[in-house]
Structures are given as C-alpha cells and as structure tokens.
Amino acid sequence: MKYTLVSFPAQNNMLFFIILFLSCVTIKINLCFSTIPSSLKTLPIHGHFNFHQVEHAAKDFGNRYSFLPLAVLHPKSVADIATTVKHIWQMGGGSDLRVAARGHGHSLQGQAQAHRGVVINMESLQLPKMQLHTGNFPYVDVSGGELWINILLQSLKHGLAPKSWTDYLHLTVGGTLSNAGISGQAFRHGPQISNVYELEVVTGKGEVVNCSEKQNSDLFYSVLGGLGQFGIITRARISLEPAPKMVKWIRVLYTDFTRFARDQEKLISGESAFDYIEGFVIINRTGLLNNWRSSFSPQDPVQASQFKSDGRTLFCLELAKYFNPEEMTLVNQEIKSSLSQLNHIPSTLFISEVAYIEFLDRVHISEIKLRSRGLWEVPHPWLNLLIPRSKIHSFAQQVFGNILTNTSSGPILIYPLNKSKWDNRTSVVTPEEDVFYLVAFLSSAVPCSTGSDGLEQVLIRNQRILDLCEIAGLGVKQYLPHYSTQGEWKSHFGSHWEAFIQRKSTYDPLAILAPGQRIFQKPVAYS
C-alpha cells in the first residue's frame, strides 16, 4: 500500500507529523493517567481504593489549600500500605505518582495532600488493635492512624495515660509524631516524640521496618519529627504513667512581660509543683475575664471584680496540678506555697477544679461550640514559632501591641520549653538555646472579609512577624513548618540539611512520600 503521505507537499507532511506527534503525546498522557488507577485496582489488598469520592482528601483544617488526589487508599492492614508504596516505588523515578499519609487532616497548608497522587487514609487502619501493657514501665501499642482521644479513653480504663499531649486530642498518632506534639506537659516530659519507645514504619521503598533507639535507630529518629518524609508510621509504642483523677486548673495575670516570662522560666526549671505550664496573651479584649468567671472562680471575688486592664496588654500564666481526691489538703498547700513565689497581680488568681479527662479534652468543648456557630470550618492562617529565650523580650516588645493590636482573631499561646527534653537525633529543628518559647498565633479568618479579621490581613500580619524575625536575626524556627522553595527549607534546616537529605536518600530516594510538604519535587538524587 502506498501512503498518500508521500504525495503531500512538504509543508503538509510537516503538519501531518506534528498532528501525529501531538496525538501520540495526548494518547500517552491519557494512557499514563488512565493506567495508574487501573494498575492500583489490580493490587492484592484487603482494604480498598476510592477513585471517585476523593474531595475529602483535598481539604484540611487550614482551609486554604486544596489538591485533588487520583485515589484514596483505605487500608485494612499494614501490608496494604506496603503493597501500594512498593508498587509506586517499582514504577521508578519517571513516575509522578506520590503518596501522602493523611491522619485526621488537621494540617494547615496541605501537608497531608497529594496532587494527582494517592492519599492513604490512616484512620481506616484499625490494626494492630490497641494493646496496653501494665507493669513498671507501662506502654500502649497503637495504630499510626489512632486518635489521641481514643488512647486516653482506653488507657484510663487501666488507670494510665500518656505523659505528653497536644492541646487538642482529635489528632492522630502519626500526624503529631511527624511534627513533635507539644503542650504544657512538654517542659517536664518533652514533646510526644520524646515519649515513644518503638515504631513500625513503611519506608518509601515499601519495606516494613520495626525501629527503636536500639533497632534501626537512624530510621526511628528520622521519622520522629520527620514531616512524613521518611516513612509512614503504622504502629507506635507510647509510654504511659499513672493517670490522676482530678486537675486544679489555675490562671493568673501579669501586665509586665518581664515578670511573666521570669515566672514561667522559674516554673519550668527544676522541680516544679505543677504538671502543666502554658500561657497566653490578651490584647485589647474586653469581657474576657467575665467569661472566665463562669468556669473559673476568682480566689478573691471582690478584688477580682475591681481589676481593670485599662487597655493594657495582659499576659496570662496557665497552670495545672494533677491530683487524686485523697491528696486534696496536701495539694492545696503545695499550690499555695508555689503561687506565693510568683509575681502576678495578686487579685487576678482564678482557679477551677475539673476531671483529668475534661482538662485534657478542653479544646473539643470549644470545637463543638464553634461548629454549632459555623466558625470551625473557616480559614486558619496559623503561625507557630519557636523563639530562643534570649530573644523573647525583643520579640514580645515588637509584636504584642505593636504589629498585633488585638487578639480577637484567635488565641496567642506563649510558653517556654526545655531543650534538654528534646532528643537532638530526631528530625525536628529547634533553636540553639537551652530554653526556647513556643509562640502560637492561632488565628481564624472571617470568610470573605476584607477587613482586619479577613484572611489577607492576617497573612500580612504573619508576614510582618516573620520579616521581623528574619531582619532582627532572632534565630527563630517555625513549628509545623511550611515553605514553597527548597532554598527556604534549606535555611529552615540549617546545619541539619545535609543529614536530612542523606536520610531522605536512604529511606525514600524517589521522593514518593509527603509531597504536600513540598520539600522534594523530584527524586533526591536529582534535586
């Protein structure tokens, strides 16, 4: 057969080839996208893939980023996760398919999302069943997709509980261990990543590896605080302690930042009487103290009702003391003696007594209220910073009441942490001082507002704070970090960058995992 093509004039020939080439490319692309889901469909797994209702996996608490995946895996076993990751690993460096583990989706900037990739819904992983071990060193074995609230409920049945928490418990073990997990107990116990004995991890090559301080220790420390970059946590062994029944929950106020910070630092050093130490800033907020009175009793109601902030910025020290009812008298004495050594405004002592579980699950009560008013699923442009102790005064002076003139967009937490309680073998980066502060700007933006409570204005304020840290060289590190370029990530990791790259090339060389963090767009060898 003679091709008609040969009789075409030259430019028509050229046109034909271009059309042929383009149609081949289109077919190849279509083939590429259509064969990926079908190759996933044939994988021998116990759970299932969802290729259609995947919108949920393109959302998170931050409510600002949305990347639609091609598929969501609902694993029933660790093998399901390993099979899927290994399959993608075997596709090689040419494949663009990436995998994100999704815990409870409470990230702020798309960290648990995978654009045209596979999201693994870790909460579907119900195995191994939670197993509690009592004895001198009690611990619990849990799935990486388990919520901390469920661990609390289960361990309390045995009179036990984890030692280190986050302020909010409806987060997964894998999600918080990939960051650090910080709350008011961390000054004594360190973050949650300092309270893990062992992990089971699926690496970026699809291998299932057990690791601990003694076994495969480099993988163990890589994964802790590793932003999901080195492996998917499928099981964790978490250390427990005897749980108290009750909590004395205390708030006192300061108008002087220096006194506030000095007292906080005194409390976290040495043997503190308290089990939880946090603090927050109140700028130009009226009526807040009246709100507290419904749940906290002022020690001296007459004096407390006469206290007026007169527009001054207030610093609230928040403390908790755990106890059992039979220890009440002794505990009251200890609290009285410790408080007498602090320099707060004497009339502003507020105390509440609540059950331990009510104290730990306190943010959930606010969640229920906010949800009922449609205020939970709004944009959350949060900014979390770790600030060296030597720079906190300069930071406070320039930010509170200056860059920020009110706290109506959301709470600002501020409390110091002891670096000695953080293991420097983990992947998390913290400032180079023995004590550093967590300062968390937990803003909610009013949807569609162009005013000071709108997303754009909050982001501008956040950027001003970041610029200040940069220009003044405060040595600040972001917690729950998020950057758009590799250069920014490099400067975030600083001297730890080379080790981070080395670990990535060992455990996930094709950069299959955690694409939502946007650290590695390509296989590590080429980045």
Cβ closer to ligand FAD: 348 or 384? 384
Cβ closer to ligand FAD: 69 or 103? 103
Q: From residue 221 to residue 240, what is the string marking binding to ligand FAD with x (rule CB under 6 A)?
A: ------xx---xx-------
Find how far residue 521's CA is from the centre of its chain.
22
Q: Exposure of 181 by Cβ count < 10 A (0-12 exposed, 13-18 middle, 19+ buried)? A: buried
Least distance (Å) between residue 272 CB and ligand FAD: 19
- What angle separates helix 392-399 from helix 455-471, to the nearest 10 degrees? 140
CB-based contacts of 348, cutoff 8 Å, min separation 6: 251, 252, 253, 298, 304, 307
The yes or no reply on residue 445 touching ligand FAD (CB under 6 A) is: no
The yes or no reply on residue 107 touching ligand FAD (CB under 6 A) is: yes
CB-based contacts of 59, cutoff 8 Å, min separation 6: 66, 105
The yes or no reply on residue 342 touching ligand FAD (CB under 6 A) is: no
Beta-strand relationship, 99-102 and 276-282: unpaired
Residue located via tokens 């999704």: 102
Report how far apart the first and last C-alpha atoms of the chain are (Å, whole number).
50
Cβ closer to ligand FAD: 219 or 349? 219
Binding residue for ligand FAD (CB under 6 A) from 36, 45, 81, 101? Answer: 101
Cβ closer to ligand FAD: 112 or 152? 112
d(CA 471, CA 88): 43
24-53 binders of ligand FAD (CB under 6 A):
none
- Say which of 48, 158, 167, 334 is annotated catalytic: 167
The yes or no reply on residue 167 touching ligand FAD (CB under 6 A) is: yes
Based on the residue annotation, tell me whether 453 is a catalytic residue of this protein.
no
Q: Which of 25, 72, 68 is nearest to 45 (CA)?
A: 72
Least distance (Å) between residue 109 CB and ligand FAD: 10
Based on the residue annotation, tell me whether 106 is a catalytic residue of this protein.
yes
Q: From residue 173 to residue 202, what is the string marking binding to ligand FAD with x (rule CB under 6 A)?
A: -xxx-xxxxxx-------------------
The yes or no reply on residue 171 touching ligand FAD (CB under 6 A) is: yes
The yes or no reply on residue 109 touching ligand FAD (CB under 6 A) is: no
The yes or no reply on residue 111 touching ligand FAD (CB under 6 A) is: yes
SS3 521: coil
Beta-strand relationship, 435-441 and 383-388: antiparallel
The yes or no reply on residue 441 touching ligand FAD (CB under 6 A) is: no
Beta-strand relationship, 297-298 and 246-254: unpaired
Cβ closer to ligand FAD: 100 or 317? 100
Cβ-closest position to ligand FAD: 174
Based on the residue annotation, tell me whether 278 is a catalytic residue of this protein.
yes
The yes or no reply on residue 429 touching ligand FAD (CB under 6 A) is: no
Q: Exposure of 128 by Cβ count < 10 A (0-12 exposed, 13-18 middle, 19+ buried)? A: middle
- Say which of 74, 87, 104, 106 is annotated catalytic: 106
CB-based contacts of 437, cutoff 8 Å, min separation 6: 386, 387, 388, 389, 392, 414, 415, 416, 417
Binding residue for ligand FAD (CB under 6 A) from 40, 72, 97, 112? Answer: 112
363-422 binders of ligand FAD (CB under 6 A):
363
d(CA 170, CA 148): 6
CB-based contacts of 136, cutoff 8 Å, min separation 6: none
Which active-site residues does the annotation give?
106, 167, 278
List of residues contacting ligand FAD (CB under 6 A): 60-61, 100-107, 111-112, 122, 144, 166-168, 171-172, 174-176, 178-183, 227-228, 232-233, 363, 480, 514, 516-517
